[in-house]
Amino acid sequence: MTRRELREHCFKMLFCADFYQAEEKEEQLKQYFQAPEEDETSPEGVNEILHRVELKEADEEVLLKRAEGIMVKVPELDEKIDEVAKGWKTRRMGKVELAILRLAVYEMKYDEEVPEKVAINEAVELAKKFGGSDAPAFVNGILAKLV
């Protein structure tokens, strides 16, 4: 699995888990791997796969460990985001943007294998793919202030 695929799956796991109470989140992370395939036909008539989880057991373990590691640090990550998000506290942010920001801040602060510029660029790409029209600029602005 590529780093980009790992990051996208991790984002989806964090996004989904954010809809559940704390005591249910760990179980919901595990359920992620059982999710059915989802696809969509574009206006041009092209069938596009939106979600497919076909992972090796080792990749599932890596993803689960990473997502759990991020979830443990959510209060700290949110505090860092709140420090730079003028007028946009995390409690007011959309769940997509917040999950992307948490993942990116975690990578910037705790993953020595991911350079800050890469974390920002990948977060912006996730925002383009999953967020609204203003999401890429919003995510880029918050993360740029952290650097």
| Separation of alpha carbons 141 and 44, rounded Å | 33
Please, what is the Cα angle at 80 between 77 and 82, to 5 degrees? Answer: 105
The pTM assigned to this predicted structure is 0.84
Average pLDDT of the segment spanning 32-60: 73
| Residue 66 binned pLDDT confidence (cut-offs 50, 70, 90) | very high
Among residues 64, 72, 1, which one has the least CA distance to residue 29? 64
For 18-75, the three-class secondary structure string (H helix, E strand, C coil) is: CCCCHHHHHHHHHHHHHCCCEEEECCCCCEEEEECCCCCHHHHHHHHHHHHHHHHCHH
70-95 burial, b for 16+ CB within 10 Å, e for fewer? bbebbeebbebbeeebeeeebeebee
* Residue in this structure with the two tokens 């609204």, named with its chain if needed: 132
Average pLDDT of the segment spanning 77-101: 92
| Residue 59 binned pLDDT confidence (cut-offs 50, 70, 90) | confident
